[in-house]
Structure 1
Amino acid sequence: MPVHNQQLHILLVEDDEVDIRNVERAFKKNNISNPLHIARNGLEALNMLKGSNGVEKLDPTPKVILLDLNMPKMGGLEFLQTIRKDPDLKTTSVFVMTTSDEESDKFAAYNLNVAGYILKPLSFERFVKAVSILNHYWTLCEQL
């Protein structure tokens, strides 16, 4: 009898409602049924990952994080620096999804060991394709 493989949980850290809806729509279009948790800034995401400040800890801990860089309270790079210092979170796969094409942001993100840096495309079709590629990646990871 096959062992039931628990689904990979994904955390989206994004403050823009339109981008959140686009990710949800792209998941639906790609038939991605992985549980998607949403945090609207880095601080909220940390509270969800650690179960701090009265926020219930996500269980299981998401193995993949989709991260925007430009957010209020705690931006993406600061969030990345924080989780890379945390023994329980430092190996989490993080994909940056941002409108920032700044070389300094890309350099900083890759120095913090991101799995990928995705510029938010202008067209929804290209975004759906990007999410499809991500899905292939984490489906592979799930089986390891």
Structure 2
Amino acid sequence: MRALNILLIEDDEIEVMKFNRVLNNMKSNHKIIEANNGEEAIEILKEKEIVPDIIVLDLNMPKINGIEFLGMLKSDEYLKYIPAIILSTSSNHKDILECYRIGIAGYVIKPLKYEDYVDRIQKLIGYWSVNELITN
């Protein structure tokens, strides 16, 4: 399994801690780059210091929401190939449809139970760490 550079875009500090805890417990060398909102994420991506292998983002964020961020990401010739996976509490069909229309790689609903959350995140990261990814 490949160690991934993961850009996590999440404004909720508790959610960031949960995500980090799951990855730490996986005893892997995945690196998490954190952004509190879409605006911050765009700045990180523009710097191109670390180009993430995957982007995991929430939909409901301040400044630039998830759908606006995806639109910006997919309109960039350099960044549009980075798989973006939504990790959200929203099961709104309209949101899911719009995200896939824009070109996301996956949509995962945050479960309420922590054990289920751990299971989903481990499967998500496991899946992407065995995928062939486009590296620049």
- Both structures adopt the same fold (TM-score exceeding 0.5): yes
- Three-state SS of the structure 1 residue aligned to 2:85 is strand
The residue that corresponds to 1:18 in the other structure is 14
Ranges in structure 2 where 5+ consecutive residues have no aligned partner: none
* Residue type at the aligned position of 1:33: N
Q: Is the 8 A contact 1:65 1:92 kept in 2?
A: yes
- Three-state SS of the structure 2 residue aligned to 1:50 is helix
Q: Structure 1 residue 138: deviation in Å?
A: 1.6
Q: Structure 1 residue 8: deviation in Å?
A: 2.4
* Residue type at the aligned position of 1:14: E
Distance 1:48 1:6 in 2: 22
Q: Is the 8 A contact 2:86 2:106 kept in 1?
A: yes
Mapped pair 1:90 → 2:80: yes
How many positions carry a matched residue from both structures? Answer: 134
Give the one of 31, 35, 38 matched to 2:34. Answer: 38
Distance 1:44 1:92 in 2: 17
TM normalised by structure 1 equals 0.87
Mapped pair 1:109 → 2:99: yes
Q: Structure 1 residue 32: deviation in Å?
A: 3.0
TM normalised by structure 2 equals 0.91
RMSD (Å) for aligned C-alpha atoms: 1.8
Give the one of 87, 92, 114 matched to 1:124. Answer: 114
Q: Deviations over 1:3-27 (max 9, x none)?
A: xx98421100000001000001111
Mapped pair 1:58 → 2:49: yes
Q: Is the 8 A contact 1:13 1:65 kept in 2?
A: yes
Distance 2:112 2:40 in 1: 27
The structure with the larger Rg is 1
Ranges in structure 1 where 5+ consecutive residues have no aligned partner: 52-56
Q: Is the 8 A contact 1:30 1:128 kept in 2?
A: no
- Three-state SS of the structure 2 residue aligned to 1:96 is strand
> Identity of aligned pairs, percent?
37
Q: Which runs of 4 or more aligned residues in structure 1 lie more than 6 Å from their structure 2 counterparts after TM superposition?
A: none
